[in-house]
Structure 1
Amino acid sequence: MPPSTPDDTPVAFQDPQYREAVIDLLAAIAYGEISAFERLAEDAKLAPSLEDKVAIASMASAELGHVASLRARLAELGADPFAAMAPFRRPIDKFHEHTAPADWYEGLIKAYVGDGMANDFYREIAAYLDPDTRDLIVASLEDTGHSEFVVGRVRAAIAADPRLGGRLALWGRRLMGEALTQAQRVAADRDALTALLAGGIDRPGLDLAALGRMFARITERHAERMAELGLDS
C-alpha cells in the first residue's frame, strides 16, 4: 500500500492532477475492455467451427470480467465510472471502425496483436503509478489464456496456404500503425495523462527521448508477437 495521510487517503492522491490522471487511465482501460468484449463477440460469428466459436467467446468473457474491478476502483476514487469512460468511447470506437477484420484470420490477428499493443502501452504508463494502481492495471491486462489458441490457428492456416501469410503480415502492420496513433492520441488529448507522463517534483517522468524509447519497446514487442504467429513485422 502507498503511504497514507491521517484521513486514510494515499499520499499520491492528495495531488488532484494525479487523481485525475489515474481516473482517466482506469476509464480508458475499462472502456477498452468493454469494446474488446463487443468486438470479440462479433468475431465469434466468423468462427469456422464450434470449438473456435467457444474459444473466442471465452476470450470475450474474460475481457468483460476485467471491467468489474476497474469500475470498483473508479468508484472508490469518487468518479462515476460511466461518465469517466465517456471521453474514450470515440477514439477507441474509431480504432475498431478503422480495423474491422475482413475474415476470421484477420480477427485472430487483431485479438492477439492489436490488443497486445494496447496492453503494452497501458503497462508502460502503469510503471509511473502508485503500487496499488499499478497492480490493478497489470492484473486487468493479464492474458486471457488463449494466446496459444490464436498462434496455433494462424500458424496452421499459413502452413496450409502460404499466400495467407503475406496478407496477414500487411494487416499486422496496419494494426500497429492504428494502435500507435490511438495510444498517442489518448495520451495527448488528456492533459492529466500528459502531465503524468511528464512527471513532477516528486515523481519520475518521461522526456521526449524516454517517450521515444517507450514506443520503441512497444514496437519491438509487436515484432515479437508477429514472429510468434509466423509473420513478418
Structure 2
Amino acid sequence: MTTGSSVEPGVIDLLGFLACAELDAFFRLADDAAAAPTLRAKGRLAALAAAEQEHYQEIRSRLADLGVDPEEAMAPFVDVLDRWRTRTRPQSWTERLVKVYVADGIAGDFYAKVAAFADDETRALVEGVLSEAGRADFVAAAVREALEEDPKAAGRLALWARRLVGEALSQAQEVAVDRPALAALLARGTGQGAGDGTDPSGVGDLAAVSRMFASLTEGHTGRLRAMGLTE
C-alpha cells in the first residue's frame, strides 16, 4: 500500500473500511430514493445519500492527507460489503426503510466506539459524521406510518431488523479476522485486549473485538421501539 506517513496500519484499515462503507451507503440510499413511493420520501432519501457521499469524500481526503492511496485502503473491504448487500436484500419498501434505519444506527454506534480511541484529527472527523446522526429520524416515522396501515407486518419487520443486526455483526467480525492490525487497534480501544500486536495468535484481540461488537446490539431495542416494533 502506498503511504508516506508513519500512521499505524490499523488506522489506515479503519479509515479504509469506513470510506468503503460510506460509499456503499451512498449507492444503497440512492437506489432507495429511486424506489421510494412518494416525492417526499424520494427527496429525503436523496438527501441522506448526498450526506453519505460527503462523508466518503471527507474520509477519502483524510487518507490522502496521510499519504495513503484511498482506493488501496478501501480495496480489502469491497467483498465483505458486497456480501452484506447480497445477504440483506430487502423484499419490500418497508424492509428498505428498516434497513436504512438499522444500518445507519449500527454504523453510528460503531463510529462512536472509534471516536473514543482514534487520534485527534480522525476523532474530529468521526464526530463530524456523528453530528448528523438524527438525519434519518424521518425513516423511523415512515415505518410507524406503514405499520398503522398494516399492523400485521410488525412481526415480520422485527425479525428482519434482527437479521440485519446479526449479519452486520457477522461481517464486521469477519473483517476483524482478516485484518489483524484493525483487530489490534479495536481491541486496544476496548481496554479489554492486548491490542499491541504482542499476541502472535491474535486470539486476545479477537475476543476483545467480539465483545465490543456484541455491545453494539445495546441500541437495538431502542431502534425497534422508535420504529414501532418490539423484540
Segments of 5+ residues of structure 1 without an aligned counterpart are 1-8
Match of 2:227 in 1: 229
What is the aligned partner in structure 2 of residue 89 from structure 1? 78
From 103, 110, 113, the equivalent of 1:124 is 113
* Equivalent residues of 1:95, 1:178 under 8 A apart: yes
CA contact (8 A) 2:108 2:133 kept: no
- The residue identity in structure 1 corresponding to 2:126 is I
SS in 1 for 2:90: coil
Cα distance, 1:93 vs structure 2: 1.4
- What is residue 35 of structure 1 aligned with on the other side? 24
Q: Secondary structure at the match of 2:37?
A: coil
Deviation at 1:123, TM superposition (A): 2.4
Query: How many angstroms does 1:49 deviate by?
Result: 0.8
Aligned equivalent of 2:192, options 206, 211, 229: 206
Q: d(CA) in 1 for partners of 2:30 and 2:227?
A: 22
Which of 146, 159, 164 lines up with 1:175 in the alignment? 164
> Aligned-residue CA RMSD in angstroms?
2.2
> Which shifted more, 67-76 or 172-181?
67-76
Indicate whether 1:110 and 2:99 are aligned. yes
Check conservation: 1:109, 1:168, Cα contact below 8 A. yes
Shift of 1:67: 1.4
Q: Is the 8 A contact 2:10 2:181 kept in 1?
A: yes
Kept in 2, the 8 Å contact 1:63–1:144? The answer is no
Residue of structure 2 in register with 1:20 after alignment: 9
Calculate the TM-score normalised by the size of structure 2. 0.85
Q: Which contiguous aligned blocks of 4+ residues in structure 1 show a shift greater than 6 angstroms? A: none
Of residues 122-131 and 66-75 in structure 1, the stretch that sits farther from structure 2 once superposed is 122-131
Alpha-carbon shift at residue 144 of structure 1 (Å)? 5.5
Deviation at 1:99, TM superposition (A): 0.6
TM-score, scaled to structure 1: 0.85
Name 2:199's counterpart in structure 1.
Answer: none
